[in-house]
């Protein structure tokens, strides 16, 4: 059994400003306890000769090369804009300035 109990979960929910019922606290404590115990059991099995991995298979970068292609001029980009000013899109203000 780990150190995760109802009181620890209640303390964390208080720090995170999360409201939980008593039933939710008890359920979450049980679920977190299972997770911590599972991690402990894996840690016991993993030895010095076993390398740490984050994925079961090697990851390969599948992204294309970042090459600049054909781009729009400023005038072309703004040609369909309903309104522009000083070479930029002009949009209505959404925040009140005081």
pLDDT digits (tens, 9 = 90+) for 18-64: 999 999 999 999 999 999 988 888 878 777 787 777 788 888 888 88
Rounded Cα distance between 28 and 10, Å, is 10
Angle at which helix 6-15 crosses helix 22-45, to 10 degrees, equals 110
| Residue 72 tokens, joined | 């729009």
Kindly report the pTM of this predicted structure. Answer: 0.47
Scanning the structure block, which residue is given the tokens 């115990």? 37
């Amino acid at each position: 059994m780990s150190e995760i109990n109802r009181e620890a979960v209640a303390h964390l929910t208080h720090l995170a400003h999360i409201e939980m019922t008593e039933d939710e606290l008890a359920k979450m404590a049980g679920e977190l306890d299972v997770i911590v115990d599972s991690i402990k059991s894996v840690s016991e099995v993993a030895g010095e000769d076993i390398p740490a991995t984050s994925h079961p298979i090697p990851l390969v970068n599948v992204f294309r090369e970042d090459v600049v292609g054909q781009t729009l001029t400023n005038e072309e980009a703004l040609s369909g804009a309903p309104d522009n000013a000083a070479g930029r899109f002009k949009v209505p203000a959404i925040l009140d300035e005081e």
